Amino acid sequence: MNSDQGSLLLKKQLADLTKNPSEGFSAGLIDDENLFKWEVLVVGPPDTFYEGGLFKAHLYFPKEYPQKPPKMRFISEFWHPNVHKDGEVCISILHEPGEDKYGYERASERWLPVHTVETILISVISMISEPNDESPANVDAAKDWREDYNGVFKKKVKLCVRKSQEEC
């Protein structure tokens, strides 16, 4: 698929999300002239420390989309074991397709061209609710998650929630 076909696919996904919004997030283009850069607003999932937060993130689609995955980066401060300190989301479905050279992930868990903006964001919301602390992108957040969930971890997440509310 070339970038023209990727553009058509992204245009269709944008129209679908506009017509049938999903619960838990909203998504749209950063700039109407560029279908490959999206801004999303992720609502902190209920019954988690993130509840009440409105977290801004960007999705950057490569020219080879949908053969290659987008990258997602939280713009809002976000303390989570599977989010790098710079905000980049580390989740299996956003990893390059094929076998994992380290043997940690199965190919079926990694990027597949059938994924859409909606399936990506549903997976991210699931990741927020249930972190994988066995393979953390943010070792410090994973340590807080494991060792002081209701203390230090909760305090840092609640600070991120407050900051996200001030941004909106």
Active site residues: 90
- Which helix (H) or strand (E) segment holds residue 39: the answer is strand 37-43
* The token pair that represents 135 in the structure block: 């393979």
**Contact call for residues 71 and 86 (beta carbons, < 8 A):** no
The SS3 call for residue 84 is coil
Task: Give every strand in the sheet of 54-60, ordered side by side.
Answer: 25-29, 37-43, 54-60, 71-74
Helices (H), 20-153: 117-129, 139-147
Q: How far apart are CA 36 and CA 152, in angstroms?
A: 37
